Amino acid sequence: MITTQIQNPKSQISNLKSKISQSPYQAYVYSYPHKTAYRPLTPPVNLANLWSNQNKSALFLYIHIPFCEMRCGFCNLFTTVTHNEDFVTQYVRALQRQAQRVKSTLGKSSFARFAIGGGTPTQLPIQHLETILDIAEQTMGANLQSIPISVEVSPETVTEDKLKLLRERGTDRISIGVQSFIESEVLATQRRQTTPQVEAALGRIREAGFPTLNIDLIYGLPEQTVETFLQSIHAALQFQPEEIYLYPLYVRPLTGLGRTDKEWDDIRLACYRTGRLLLLSEGYSQVSMRMFQRRENNPALPVYCCQADGMVGLGCGARTYTDTLHYSNDYAVGVKEIRDILQAYIHSDEAFDFASYGFKLDADEQRRRYILLSLLSDEGLNFASYQQKFNSSVYIDFSELREVKELNLGMEDGEILRLTEAGIELSDVIGAWLFSLKVQELMEGYELK
Ligand SMILES: C[S@@+](CC[C@H](N)C(=O)[O-])C[C@H]1O[C@@H](n2cnc3c(N)ncnc32)[C@H](O)[C@@H]1O
Ligand code: SF4
């Protein structure tokens, strides 16, 4: 095998020290590369050819539902508010067409995990939710009773009948966006939600018997203090969730809320530190900067990171990951632009055989992605696994990674480089620092619409 050494651009080396003196909240690295680095693929890539040389034995199926009951002021996800039932029906039909086409381009394939995300999947009327499960099972061939399934829900949409359906069809994880148990804090973000409704929804989820409940909370909301954030965590703990995500609020242009200042950084950092300590003292393990898991009763909880290669995304806002190409539909945050993209999606047919928007990962990008995703989770960066996968050494390819250790943001534990406590809280800086120059330039050049 040939060993390829990745040459890093000089400007990328040794600037972590200056980066960490800036805001700890630079870029939420939930995937690499970010969708804003995607561009039109010319010519479009034929999916049957692309998938022909991929390992398809344990794929992750992800179905995206871009509908919500409201548009929260902070949210920059690809989603829309619609009360037009016909439009929703057309969306589900388009999903069905896409699934048929994608399944035939994949050929022999098998799914090891499944997630329905959004937006808010439970915003769908129950008959459509059922169709989505049928698409996964009958069209895509996923064995729903034997693989882990996760579904995202919001408090107001999670009715007893929908929960019953999801549980009966094999869903074992429900992830609910609560954000805060303090009503004035959520209302300030134009999110309509009362705390009694949230508590009733959580009660229904627990009663339905899902093995894993995840609760999303946000810190850095308008008017929120460390004390009120802790109150929200305590309220969440009443429901003994197996997982809790603590998200620092990010505001980006076009999302309704706008704030960037040092005082806000300080509040977010104080919320993070106290929230983290509280969860650790309650027996949770920290999986990443945002994710906490209660593992004592179930050490084998699967981590629903939607980031591994071999992810097949269906739906207008879904991404698909092969090892050499990531692709999706066009991306937008603005209401009209999202509508236009959705309109094009519901009329698509043959277009589902091709990837026409995405990012090609060369050897350097594949390695960066591997490093980023492993370093930012508690799994850590395993040198031997890297060597085996890429036939090369981490420090030869990315000598600048030594800086993570020198700044005490990471520590070597045998063959594994793991972030320290100080490193984990700077995950969003370390992640952004590892972006390639090409990705940084594409992201900067992206015109948000
Ligand atoms: C798809 S939503 C969860 C389900 C459902 N749509 C809901 O909001 O209840 C994903 C989560 O991302 C988080 N999120 C979205 N935008 C965010 C932002 N700008 N800053 C921080 N967290 C954000 C929220 O905690 C939200 O619950
Ligand atoms: S936070 Fe959830 S409910 Fe609110 S707009 Fe985003 S996806 Fe929809």
* pLDDT score for 20: 84
CA of 85 to the centre of ligand 2 (A): 19
* pLDDT score for 371: 95
* pLDDT score for 13: 47
Three-state SS string across 158-194, please? CCHHHHHHHHHCCCCEEEEEEECCCHHHHHCCCCCCC
* pLDDT score for 25: 87
* pLDDT score for 260: 58
Token digits of residue 438? 């090409």
Can you tell me the distance from the alpha carbon of 74 to that of 256, in angstroms, rounded to the nearest whole number?
6
Distances (CA, A) of 415 to 127, 386, 422, 434: 50, 10, 20, 20
Largest CA-CA distance found in the chain, in angstroms, rounded: 61
Domain ranges for the chain, please list them.
Answer: 10-29+376-444, 37-294
CA of 76 to the centre of ligand 2 (A): 8
Ligand 2 atom, smallest distance to 118 CA:
7
* pLDDT score for 161: 98
Collapsing DSSP states into helix, strand and coil, what is residue 397? helix
Closest CA to 76 of 253, 262, 276: 253
Can you tell me the distance from the alpha carbon of 149 to that of 153, in angstroms, rounded to the nearest whole number?
13
Can you tell me the distance from the alpha carbon of 355 to that of 131, in angstroms, rounded to the nearest whole number?
25
Ligand 1: which residue has its CA nearest to atom 15? 75
* pLDDT score for 92: 98
Provide the sign of the torsion angle of the four alpha carbons 186, 187, 189, 193, taken in this order: positive
* pLDDT score for 306: 43
**Per-position DSSP letters for 52-79, written without gaps between them:** HTS--SSEEEEEEE-EESS--TT--SS-
Ligand 2: which residue has its CA nearest to atom 3? 68
Which residues in the chain land under pLDDT 70?
Answer: 1-14, 252-260, 297-309
**Per-position DSSP letters for 266-323, written without gaps between them:** HHHHHHHHHHHHHHHHTTEEE-BSSEEEE-SS-TTPPP--TTSSSEEEESTT--EE-S
CATH number, domain 37-294: 3.20.20.70
Q: Which helix (H) or strand (E) holds 327?
A: strand 325-327
Token digits of residue 237? 């703990």
Can you tell me the distance from the alpha carbon of 193 to that of 190, in angstroms, rounded to the nearest whole number?
9
Ligand nearest to the CA of 179: 1
Ligand nearest to the CA of 67: 2
* pLDDT score for 9: 45
